[in-house]
Structure formats: C-alpha cells, structure tokens
Amino acid sequence: MPLSPVTTPYGAAQPPCGTEPAPAVERSPSRALRTGERGFGEVRAARCAPLAALRGAGVLVLGDHRQSLTVARSLHRAGYRVIAGGPSGNTILERSRCVAEVWDHPPNTERGDWAGALQEFCAARKDLGVVFPVGDGEIELVEPLAGRLPVLVAIVAPPILAVCRSKRALLALADDTGVPTQPWELVESPDALAPALTRVGLPAVLKPDVSAHAAPGFKAAILRSEADALGLLAQGAFPRSGFVLQRLAGSVRHNVYFVARKGRLIGHMQVRILGTDRPDGTGLAVEGESVPPSPALLDWTGALAARLSYTGVGCAQFLVEEPAGSASFLEINARLGANCATACACGLDLPRLFIEALLGVTRPQPPATVGRHYAWLYGDLVGLASSLRSGRATWWQGLAWLGRAAMAQLSADHHITWSWRDPLPTIIMFGGFLRACFRALIRGRLFARPHPIVLGRSGPRVRARRLSREA
C-alpha cells in the first residue's frame, strides 16, 4: 500500500494525564484561559483554573450545522455563555434559546477579513474564553489562527487534522497499526483508474483523498463496472489530491464516538447506522441506534488514538459484516460527529468533554446507554426531495420512503435537532423547507433545485434492519 506523504505524528503515545488540574489562584474565567500554552487548543493543566472557575465564560460557536445546536445546548447546560458566530439573522443556531448573543462576522469566503475580525473580537471581549469551530470549513479557517488567539481553541492538533483529512494517510496508518482495512489504492490521475480497478477488484468505492477537494455534493461513489468509473470521470473534474479506490464491503456502518487525552480513550460509545441519505449507503446517517461497544472496534480505535497521541473528540467509522462480526476501518472524523446529539442523549456529553480534555481534565465516564434509537426527519425529507429531483427514486418509491421515515419518527427515542425545551430552531428549519417546496410547486418545478438551508445535506434513503434492544 502506498504510504501518505503527509507528515504524521505517529510515535508512541504519551502517558495519560489522569489527574485534575492543580488549583490556581482566583481569577476570571477568561483570564484563566488566556494563560498557558495554547498553540492548537492544548492548555497546560497546571496553569489553568479549575473547571468550576470557567462557569459563565463565553464560548463562541462557529458554524451553522445540526451539531452546532448540540454544542450550544450542551455548553449552556454546563454553565457557559454561548455566542453564535454567523451572519446575523441568517442562521438557525441564533434562534436557539441557549444562545445569548450573535457575533455578526464577515463572509467565510473573505478569509483575510474573517480572520482579522475574529482576532479583533477575541481581543476585545474579555469575557470570551473558548472559540469552538464546529464543521470542517470552520475548523480549516480557525486552524491557522489557533496559536495567535488569546483564548482556548477547541480543535484537534493540526498535525492530527492533516492525517485525518487524508483518507490515504488514515488507511496507511491503519495498515501500519494492524487495524484491518479493505484493499485500497491511491489514484493520482484519470489514466490510473482502470489499472487500479483491476488490482483492487470490483465492486469498489471511489472517494476523494481530501473531501474538501471534491466536487460539490460528492463524497463517494460505488463502482460496479469499469463503465461506472468512466462515466463518473466524465461527469466531474479530477480532484487535485486524487482519489482513493477501495474494495467495497457489503457491511453495516458502525460509528465509535470517543474523547481522548494524549492518546488514551476516556469516553466512548458505539452507534449502528440503520439508514443513510443515499441509496448505496455512502452518505450521511439519518437513523441509527446505540449498541454495546465491540471490544475489537474499541481496541482498534484506541490503537489509532494512541499512535496519533490524540487529544479531543472524534468519530471512528467501521464497516461490520453481520452476523459474522468481521470489520474493516473506514476513517476518523477529527471533530464532533454530525449526529453527536445521540452521544449526548446516551450520557456522553462530547462538547463539554472536548473542552475538559483540552484543559487536562480526565474524569472517568460511565458507560453510555445502549438501545437508544435516533432519527433525523429533516434529513429524510430533504433526501426525498433530492432523490425525486435527481431521478434516483420514483414517486412510488418516494411514498414508501415517507412511510419508512414516519415509522422511524414514531419509534425513535431521540431526534437529532428537536428539543421540547428549545423547539424554535427545528420549527424554523422545517418552515424554510416547506416554503421552498411550496414555491417550487407554484412554479411547476417541485424539487427542481436543492434546498437552500445548510443544516444538513440530502440524498435518497437506505435502511438496515434494526437490532434487538435486549443487548
């Protein structure tokens, strides 16, 4: 297998901290966070105030994603003052009752203006203690500023981010660590795809090495013949980082949400994906359930975290052959998973634990609740619109899909964005969706264009059989 040219901080894991930070002199929360080394969000525990002193500190949440609501609700419960970053009046997050104020920043496309505005805001707000970028785009924008901001930046270390962004780097690391993977190969040019298909075998999945370099809306494609590969190349541009071609395993995806400190796992839970937003199962999850952690998957996640000396939260993805139980590694998302609300509902409060891990606090976490079923209705409905628009589903299939989505909502224990204590963001989201559908219907072009709201992407629906909750 080709090794990644990306510099990787493999090396042995550092010994875990394992202790609470030493008591510090009385100081304001923001001043406590402004002391110590913080190059990429790592703050020396010995020079930090106890977590109790952080209560009331301001947290700037960047990104208008469904997990942004989870971050705001979690940190609001923990006693932080949540500030939403975004164009004022244009974000779903600011509608949450957990958000105290909104920082109206320049567009993300103007990187220089955006970076300068963030630095000025952090310097001017003495009550601000944490900057919490949520999505990949926000993390990429904040990453170069992490060493220059006078606050704690809640991101994973940049060398680790570089590895986790590159699928070939992650697969090479997994092979080197002894974590099983399906056969794979890097495809660096269009002419190299056909020979690679011969070596890897069919069916296969084709993924951009770096997702940010992919064409809009493209995450992965299933190739069942060489004609599929040629047709895909004819439809879009070749990414500058190349493709990763990997043998397709007909398995069920399992996500391991975890929080680690210096390569040691301090909290984890496992989710079995029951439904995704694409017919081939390669898209975003819209339905799942928490299951008992697999010792093998947990060991492999811990081994990868140790090799990276990982500090922060992440989501390791595996494909599991059922009922045989054999598994293969997919990737690690070095950020909060999009459906991390499920982890919070099961007792693993990832946003709060992320900040604690960066501060050096490693509290033992109780086992997460198993057997909880979650659903994401908004993703189902937007996926239905995309499916009908693209022709990947007929109207009869769409009706069947609506029935499955309704059953998922009725049987779910938890809904990704909905909260009875904080209903307005989800109501506004659905209101925007219905308005878009109504306008399209009036114009005679129902589902003729993508839905404009950014809280989640779309695609058709796949459903797996649900496991028994008796485990």
264 belongs to a structural domain? no
- The answer to whether residues 70 and 137 belong to one domain is yes
pTM above 0.95, yes or no: no
CATH code for the domain of 42? 3.40.50.720
Whole-Å CA distances, 258 to 251, 272, 349, 354, 446: 22, 15, 10, 10, 41
* 333 inside domain: no
Q: What are the per-10-residue average pLDDT scores of the chain (471 residues)?
A: 33 33 33 37 38 70 95 94 85 94 83 88 91 94 90 94 94 96 92 90 89 65 84 76 87 94 95 82 86 96 97 95 85 94 96 93 88 93 80 81 90 94 94 83 57 35 42 34
Is 114 inside any structural domain?
yes
pLDDT at 189: 87
Contacts of 366 (CB under 8 A, 6+ apart): 347
Residues 116 and 221 in one domain: no
pLDDT at position 49: 44
Write down the pLDDT at residue 44.
36
Where does a domain end: 224, 247, 270?
247
C-alpha distances (whole Å) from 417 to each of 373, 378, 440, 457 are 14, 9, 25, 14
Instruction: Assess whether 137 and 74 both reside in one domain.
Output: yes
Lookup: tokens for 354: 């992320």
Q: Does residue 157 share a domain with residue 189?
A: no
- pLDDT, tens digit (0-9, with 9 covering 90-100), for 184-200: 999 998 888 889 999 99
Tell which residue, 435, 457, 439, 461, has the closest CA to residue 448: 439
308 inside domain: no
Backbone dihedral angles phi then psi of residue 108, each to the nearest 5 degrees: -65, -20
| Predicted local confidence at residue 253, as pLDDT | 92
By residue range, what is the domain housing residue 228?
183-247
The DSSP code for 293 is P
Domain count, the chain: 2
Q: Are 36 and 9 in contact (CB under 8 A)?
A: no
Each residue of 291-311: pLDDT tens digit? 999 999 999 999 999 999 999
Instruction: Give the residue among 260, 188, 226 at the shortest CA–CA distance from 18.
Output: 260
**CA pair distance 236, 243, nearest whole angstrom:** 13
Whole-number pLDDT of residue 395: 83
Neighbours of 263 (CB within 10 A): 21
